[in-house]
Homo-oligomer: A and B are copies of this chain.
Amino acid sequence: MEIWYAEIINIGNEILTGRTINTNASHIARRLTSLGYTVRRITVVRDEIEEIVSAFREAINRRPRIIISTGGLGPTYDDKTNEGLAKALNIELELNEIAYKMLLEKYSKLNIEITEERKKMAIMPKGSIPVENNAGVAPGILIVYQGITILATPGVPKEMEDVLENFIKKYLKDRPSVKYLETSFLLEGVMESTIAPYVKQLVKKYDLYIKTHPKGQELSKPILEIQIAGSSENEAEIKERIQKALEELKEIGVKLGGTIIQS
């Protein structure tokens, strides 16, 4: 089974000062995972050209199938993703005519003139496809580089989500054929360190990803959320495999003195 790797790059000082919680990364990660991708890395960098260039170049060097970035597409001085991306790819920037038309339409409807700051949102690396943003102004930037699909989305969550969905619907033709499924249950009264050796065995036995997430207190009141996940090209097969592991884990949990409090 071939793994389709993905990477996420979030651009924005507000994430690095802790002012903004990076929900964009988790949204994109969930969406890509549901499509069968394996997100290998999330990188957050500041609104600086050289930081953006490094983040894209390093991601490209790891050869994922897809890279999705957020942030830095707006009209302000610190929106530098188009420039950073162009430099990372060594491709010139140009005024993208289709993107410019998108902006003109949006602004002219409201009788607002196009200033340099607004025009900037249509400046993209040569060969880019602007992706519709129905929740805001700045279009996404889609470009395929050395076989890697790169999509830059805005940083405002609802705009990022809109651009991402438009991209998936309209442009993402080539997708992984694997199906990703996951399930979980809550086990009370068993310490993570007690069930750990059993989990290790089952991971090998079923070739699944099993993770215990401690929710209570390891020593005084252990509660574990036990997650079982896996991918396969055959949906029925992975469903059955997860189900079997789930049943065996629940049995083990009960044998170890635990109670299943939610399944």
Contacts and interface: CB of A to CB of B under 8 A. Distances in A.
Interface in A120-147: 136-137
A156 interface: yes
Interface in A60-93: 74-78
Given A76-B192, A196-B117, A211-B13, A26 B30 contact: no
A238 to B, nearest CB: 15
A21 B15 CA distance: 13
B75 A192 contact: yes
A178 to B, nearest CB: 14
A101 interface: no
A30 B17 contact: yes
A217 B27 CA distance: 21
A24 to B, nearest CB: 10
A209 interface: yes
A57 interface: no
B33 A41 contact: no
Interface residues of A, number: 68
Secondary structure class of chain A's binding surface, majority of residues: mixed
Interface stretch (A165-173, A197-205, A246-254, A255-263): A197-205
Nearest to A121: B193
B51 A14 contact: no
Contacts of A241: none
A39 B22 contact: no
A42 B29 contact: no
A60 to B, nearest CB: 15
A18 to B, nearest CB: 3
B28 A18 contact: yes
Contact of A200 (B29, B76, B203): B76
A74 B192 contact: yes
A10 to B, nearest CB: 8
Nearest to A79: B196
A25 to B, nearest CB: 7
Contacts of A200: 76-77
A213 interface: yes
B77 A199 contact: yes
B137 A218 contact: yes
Nearest to A27: B18
The 5 A-B pairs at the shortest CB distance, nearest first, are namely A18-B30, A18-B29, A75-B193, A42-B44, A77-B200
